[in-house]
Amino acid sequence: MLAVAVEEARQGLAEGGIPIGGALFGADGTVLGRGHNRRVQDNDPSMHGETSAFRNAGRQRSYRGTTMVTTLSPCWFCSGLVRQFGIGRVVIGEAQTFYGGHEWLSENGVEVVLLDDPGCVAMMTDFIAARPDLWHEDIGVD
Amino acid sequence: MLAVAVEEARQGLAEGGIPIGGALFGADGTVLGRGHNRRVQDNDPSMHGETSAFRNAGRQRSYRGTTMVTTLSPCWFCSGLVRQFGIGRVVIGEAQTFYGGHEWLSENGVEVVLLDDPGCVAMMTDFIAARPDLWHEDIGVD
Protein backbone atom coordinates (compact mmCIF):
# COMPACT_ATOMS: atom_id res chain seq x y z
CA MET A 1 0.00 0.00 0.00
CA LEU A 2 2.86 2.39 0.80
CA ALA A 3 4.13 2.12 -2.78
CA VAL A 4 1.12 4.07 -4.07
CA ALA A 5 1.72 6.91 -1.60
CA VAL A 6 5.45 6.96 -2.42
CA GLU A 7 4.66 7.14 -6.13
CA GLU A 8 2.43 10.14 -5.44
CA ALA A 9 5.13 11.82 -3.35
CA ARG A 10 7.69 11.34 -6.11
CA GLN A 11 5.30 12.76 -8.66
CA GLY A 12 4.84 15.80 -6.44
CA LEU A 13 8.61 16.25 -6.21
CA ALA A 14 8.95 15.94 -9.99
CA GLU A 15 6.36 18.72 -10.34
CA GLY A 16 8.46 20.99 -8.12
CA GLY A 17 6.23 20.41 -5.12
CA ILE A 18 6.50 19.05 -1.61
CA PRO A 19 7.08 15.27 -1.71
CA ILE A 20 4.29 13.95 0.47
CA GLY A 21 1.79 11.50 -0.95
CA GLY A 22 -1.29 9.70 0.27
CA ALA A 23 -3.86 7.15 -0.80
CA LEU A 24 -7.22 6.12 0.60
CA PHE A 25 -8.00 2.42 0.30
CA GLY A 26 -11.38 0.78 0.62
CA ALA A 27 -12.05 -2.20 2.89
CA ASP A 28 -11.53 -4.49 -0.12
CA GLY A 29 -8.07 -3.05 -0.84
CA THR A 30 -9.03 -0.99 -3.88
CA VAL A 31 -7.72 2.57 -4.18
CA LEU A 32 -10.59 5.02 -3.62
CA GLY A 33 -8.39 8.07 -4.16
CA ARG A 34 -4.72 9.01 -4.31
CA GLY A 35 -2.98 12.35 -4.26
CA HIS A 36 -0.03 14.44 -3.22
CA ASN A 37 0.69 17.78 -1.63
CA ARG A 38 -0.29 20.55 -4.07
CA ARG A 39 0.75 23.71 -2.23
CA VAL A 40 3.21 24.76 -4.93
CA GLN A 41 1.46 23.31 -7.97
CA ASP A 42 -1.97 24.84 -7.25
CA ASN A 43 -0.96 27.58 -4.80
CA ASP A 44 -3.31 25.72 -2.48
CA PRO A 45 -2.34 25.48 1.19
CA SER A 46 -5.23 23.11 1.97
CA MET A 47 -4.03 20.28 -0.24
CA HIS A 48 -1.74 18.19 1.94
CA GLY A 49 -1.09 14.68 0.67
CA GLU A 50 -3.80 13.04 2.74
CA THR A 51 -6.39 15.76 2.07
CA SER A 52 -5.68 15.45 -1.62
CA ALA A 53 -6.20 11.67 -1.56
CA PHE A 54 -9.42 12.14 0.43
CA ARG A 55 -10.66 14.75 -2.02
CA ASN A 56 -9.84 12.61 -5.03
CA ALA A 57 -11.85 9.75 -3.53
CA GLY A 58 -14.93 11.93 -4.00
CA ARG A 59 -18.02 11.83 -1.84
CA GLN A 60 -18.33 8.64 0.17
CA ARG A 61 -21.33 7.72 2.26
CA SER A 62 -19.14 5.92 4.79
CA TYR A 63 -15.45 5.52 5.54
CA ARG A 64 -15.94 2.33 7.51
CA GLY A 65 -13.08 -0.07 6.91
CA THR A 66 -11.00 2.42 4.91
CA THR A 67 -7.25 2.93 5.32
CA MET A 68 -5.35 6.16 4.76
CA VAL A 69 -1.78 5.54 3.66
CA THR A 70 0.66 8.43 3.83
CA THR A 71 4.40 8.80 3.35
CA LEU A 72 4.68 11.04 6.45
CA SER A 73 3.07 11.26 9.88
CA PRO A 74 -0.18 13.21 9.40
CA CYS A 75 -0.22 16.79 10.68
CA TRP A 76 -3.10 17.95 12.95
CA PHE A 77 -5.14 18.99 9.92
CA CYS A 78 -4.88 15.57 8.28
CA SER A 79 -5.16 13.75 11.61
CA GLY A 80 -8.39 15.65 12.21
CA LEU A 81 -9.58 14.54 8.78
CA VAL A 82 -9.00 10.89 9.70
CA ARG A 83 -10.78 11.24 13.04
CA GLN A 84 -13.76 13.23 11.78
CA PHE A 85 -14.57 10.87 8.93
CA GLY A 86 -14.01 7.68 10.87
CA ILE A 87 -11.20 6.36 8.70
CA GLY A 88 -10.31 3.21 10.61
CA ARG A 89 -6.64 2.78 9.91
CA VAL A 90 -3.62 4.91 9.05
CA VAL A 91 -0.44 3.48 7.55
CA ILE A 92 2.50 5.89 7.87
CA GLY A 93 5.78 5.77 5.96
CA GLU A 94 7.76 7.55 8.64
CA ALA A 95 7.51 9.91 11.62
CA GLN A 96 11.18 10.84 12.01
CA THR A 97 11.25 14.04 9.97
CA PHE A 98 7.85 15.21 11.24
CA TYR A 99 5.84 14.02 14.21
CA GLY A 100 2.14 14.77 13.73
CA GLY A 101 -1.06 13.59 15.38
CA HIS A 102 -0.79 9.83 14.94
CA GLU A 103 -0.55 9.10 18.69
CA TRP A 104 -3.70 11.15 19.25
CA LEU A 105 -5.41 9.10 16.55
CA SER A 106 -4.29 5.90 18.21
CA GLU A 107 -5.68 7.11 21.55
CA ASN A 108 -8.98 7.78 19.79
CA GLY A 109 -9.51 4.34 18.32
CA VAL A 110 -7.73 4.57 14.98
CA GLU A 111 -5.39 1.69 14.13
CA VAL A 112 -1.98 3.23 13.42
CA VAL A 113 0.77 1.37 11.58
CA LEU A 114 4.11 3.19 11.59
CA LEU A 115 6.51 1.68 9.05
CA ASP A 116 9.73 3.67 9.60
CA ASP A 117 10.58 3.33 5.90
CA PRO A 118 14.15 4.47 5.06
CA GLY A 119 13.15 5.63 1.57
CA CYS A 120 10.47 7.94 2.99
CA VAL A 121 12.89 9.30 5.60
CA ALA A 122 15.52 10.02 2.94
CA MET A 123 13.02 11.73 0.63
CA MET A 124 11.84 14.15 3.32
CA THR A 125 15.32 14.69 4.80
CA ASP A 126 16.62 15.74 1.39
CA PHE A 127 13.61 17.95 0.73
CA ILE A 128 13.74 19.73 4.09
CA ALA A 129 17.48 20.37 3.66
CA ALA A 130 16.89 21.79 0.17
CA ARG A 131 13.74 23.86 0.88
CA PRO A 132 13.37 24.62 4.60
CA ASP A 133 11.31 27.76 3.80
CA LEU A 134 8.72 25.81 1.84
CA TRP A 135 8.60 23.04 4.41
CA HIS A 136 8.01 25.45 7.28
CA GLU A 137 5.30 27.22 5.30
CA ASP A 138 3.57 23.88 4.71
CA ILE A 139 3.33 23.05 8.42
CA GLY A 140 2.61 26.57 9.63
CA VAL A 141 5.94 27.22 11.34
CA ASP A 142 6.83 30.91 11.40
CA MET B 1 -16.95 39.39 11.78
CA LEU B 2 -19.68 36.74 12.04
CA ALA B 3 -21.72 38.55 9.38
CA VAL B 4 -19.21 37.58 6.68
CA ALA B 5 -19.39 33.90 7.64
CA VAL B 6 -23.20 34.01 7.78
CA GLU B 7 -23.31 35.60 4.33
CA GLU B 8 -21.15 32.74 3.04
CA ALA B 9 -23.39 30.13 4.69
CA ARG B 10 -26.49 31.68 3.13
CA GLN B 11 -24.84 31.73 -0.27
CA GLY B 12 -24.06 28.03 0.15
CA LEU B 13 -27.69 27.31 1.02
CA ALA B 14 -28.88 29.30 -2.01
CA GLU B 15 -26.62 27.13 -4.19
CA GLY B 16 -28.28 23.98 -2.82
CA GLY B 17 -25.37 23.26 -0.50
CA ILE B 18 -24.73 22.84 3.20
CA PRO B 19 -25.10 26.20 4.97
CA ILE B 20 -21.81 26.55 6.80
CA GLY B 21 -19.57 29.51 6.14
CA GLY B 22 -16.20 30.74 7.29
CA ALA B 23 -13.81 33.63 6.94
CA LEU B 24 -10.16 34.10 7.83
CA PHE B 25 -9.26 37.56 9.09
CA GLY B 26 -5.80 39.06 9.33
CA ALA B 27 -4.46 40.71 12.47
CA ASP B 28 -5.53 44.09 11.07
CA GLY B 29 -9.14 42.96 10.59
CA THR B 30 -9.04 42.56 6.81
CA VAL B 31 -10.58 39.47 5.24
CA LEU B 32 -7.80 37.20 3.94
CA GLY B 33 -10.23 34.61 2.59
CA ARG B 34 -13.88 33.63 2.88
CA GLY B 35 -15.75 30.55 1.79
CA HIS B 36 -18.51 28.04 2.42
CA ASN B 37 -19.03 24.32 2.41
CA ARG B 38 -18.79 23.03 -1.17
CA ARG B 39 -19.57 19.31 -0.80
CA VAL B 40 -22.63 19.48 -3.02
CA GLN B 41 -21.56 22.25 -5.39
CA ASP B 42 -18.13 20.75 -6.26
CA ASN B 43 -18.71 17.15 -5.16
CA ASP B 44 -15.79 17.88 -2.86
CA PRO B 45 -15.86 16.36 0.63
CA SER B 46 -12.75 18.26 1.70
CA MET B 47 -14.25 21.73 1.39
CA HIS B 48 -15.85 22.45 4.73
CA GLY B 49 -16.59 26.12 5.40
CA GLU B 50 -13.37 26.79 7.31
CA THR B 51 -11.17 24.82 4.89
CA SER B 52 -12.70 26.74 2.02
CA ALA B 53 -11.96 30.10 3.68
CA PHE B 54 -8.41 28.96 4.44
CA ARG B 55 -7.92 27.83 0.85
CA ASN B 56 -9.29 31.05 -0.58
CA ALA B 57 -6.82 33.01 1.57
CA GLY B 58 -4.07 31.46 -0.55
CA ARG B 59 -0.56 30.74 0.63
CA GLN B 60 0.40 32.69 3.74
CA ARG B 61 3.85 32.72 5.27
CA SER B 62 2.39 33.05 8.76
CA TYR B 63 -1.00 32.85 10.44
CA ARG B 64 0.13 34.81 13.48
CA GLY B 65 -2.65 37.04 14.71
CA THR B 66 -5.28 35.64 12.35
CA THR B 67 -8.86 34.78 13.34
CA MET B 68 -11.01 32.06 11.81
CA VAL B 69 -14.69 32.89 11.99
CA THR B 70 -17.19 30.13 11.38
CA THR B 71 -20.96 29.80 11.66
CA LEU B 72 -20.64 26.38 13.36
CA SER B 73 -18.30 24.72 15.85
CA PRO B 74 -15.36 23.39 13.79
CA CYS B 75 -15.23 19.63 13.25
CA TRP B 76 -11.99 17.72 14.00
CA PHE B 77 -10.75 18.29 10.46
CA CYS B 78 -11.19 22.07 10.66
CA SER B 79 -10.04 22.18 14.28
CA GLY B 80 -6.88 20.40 13.20
CA LEU B 81 -6.44 23.02 10.48
CA VAL B 82 -6.58 25.81 13.06
CA ARG B 83 -4.11 24.07 15.36
CA GLN B 84 -1.62 23.05 12.68
CA PHE B 85 -1.36 26.49 11.13
CA GLY B 86 -1.27 28.41 14.38
CA ILE B 87 -4.43 30.40 13.76
CA GLY B 88 -4.67 32.28 17.04
CA ARG B 89 -8.38 32.77 17.49
CA VAL B 90 -11.63 31.11 16.48
CA VAL B 91 -14.99 32.88 16.58
CA ILE B 92 -17.91 30.44 16.43
CA GLY B 93 -21.53 31.22 15.60
CA GLU B 94 -22.92 28.30 17.57
CA ALA B 95 -22.13 24.86 18.98
CA GLN B 96 -25.67 23.64 19.73
CA THR B 97 -26.38 21.73 16.54
CA PHE B 98 -22.85 20.31 16.31
CA TYR B 99 -20.15 20.14 18.94
CA GLY B 100 -16.71 19.88 17.33
CA GLY B 101 -13.16 20.36 18.55
CA HIS B 102 -13.30 23.88 19.95
CA GLU B 103 -12.62 22.82 23.56
CA TRP B 104 -9.55 20.91 22.38
CA LEU B 105 -8.40 24.07 20.59
CA SER B 106 -8.93 26.09 23.74
CA GLU B 107 -6.88 23.57 25.74
CA ASN B 108 -4.12 23.96 23.16
CA GLY B 109 -3.75 27.70 23.36
CA VAL B 110 -6.26 28.93 20.77
CA GLU B 111 -8.56 31.76 21.90
CA VAL B 112 -12.12 30.51 21.38
CA VAL B 113 -15.12 32.86 21.29
CA LEU B 114 -18.46 31.05 21.24
CA LEU B 115 -21.30 33.42 20.31
CA ASP B 116 -24.40 31.21 20.62
CA ASP B 117 -26.06 33.14 17.79
CA PRO B 118 -29.78 32.31 17.37
CA GLY B 119 -29.68 32.94 13.60
CA CYS B 120 -26.89 30.40 13.15
CA VAL B 121 -28.71 27.86 15.33
CA ALA B 122 -31.93 28.29 13.33
CA MET B 123 -30.14 27.96 9.97
CA MET B 124 -28.51 24.64 10.91
CA THR B 125 -31.56 23.29 12.73
CA ASP B 126 -33.68 23.84 9.63
CA PHE B 127 -31.04 22.36 7.36
CA ILE B 128 -30.48 19.22 9.46
CA ALA B 129 -34.26 18.64 9.66
CA ALA B 130 -34.57 18.99 5.88
CA ARG B 131 -31.47 17.03 4.82
CA PRO B 132 -30.28 14.66 7.58
CA ASP B 133 -28.65 12.37 4.98
CA LEU B 134 -26.47 15.14 3.59
CA TRP B 135 -25.60 16.44 7.03
CA HIS B 136 -24.51 13.02 8.26
CA GLU B 137 -22.43 12.51 5.14
CA ASP B 138 -20.70 15.83 5.75
CA ILE B 139 -19.56 14.91 9.25
CA GLY B 140 -18.78 11.25 8.53
CA VAL B 141 -21.65 9.71 10.49
CA ASP B 142 -22.71 6.36 9.04
Task: Tell me if B90 sits within 8 A of B112, measured CB to CB.
Answer: yes
Q: Which residue in A7, A8, A15, A50 is the catalytic one?
A: A50
Helix (H, G, I), strand (E, B) or coil at B137: helix
pTM, full prediction? 0.98
| B111 belongs to a structural domain | no
| A21 belongs to a structural domain | yes
* pLDDT at residue A19, as a whole number: 98
| A77 belongs to a structural domain | yes
Q: What is the pLDDT of residues B105-133, one digit of tens each?
A: 999 999 999 999 999 999 999 999 999 99
Greatest CA separation for chain A: 42
* pLDDT at residue B51, as a whole number: 98
Count of structural domains within chain B: 1
* pLDDT at residue A35, as a whole number: 98
| B106 belongs to a structural domain | no
Q: Which residues of B are catalytic?
A: 50
- Provide the residue range defining the domain that includes A25: 1-94
**Confidence at A126, pLDDT banded by 50, 70, 90:** very high
Task: Name the nearest CA neighbour of B3 among B96, B119, B104.
Answer: B119
Q: What is the pLDDT of residues A1-24, one digit of tens each?
A: 999 999 999 999 999 999 999 999
What residues form DSSP beta bridges with B76?
none
Contacts of B137 (CB under 8 A, 6+ apart): A59, A61, B39, B45
CATH code at B33?
3.40.140.10
| B133 belongs to a structural domain | no
| B102 belongs to a structural domain | no
Distance from CA of B86 to the nearest CA of A (A): 6
φ, ψ (nearest 5 deg) of residue B135: -65, -45
> Which one of B45, B59, B76 has the shortest CB-CB distance to A83?
B76
Give yes or no for A84 touching B (CB within 8 A).
yes
| A112 belongs to a structural domain | no
User: Which ipTM value was assigned to this complex?
Assistant: 0.97
Chain B positions in Cβ-Cβ contact with residue A101 (cut-off 8 Å): 80
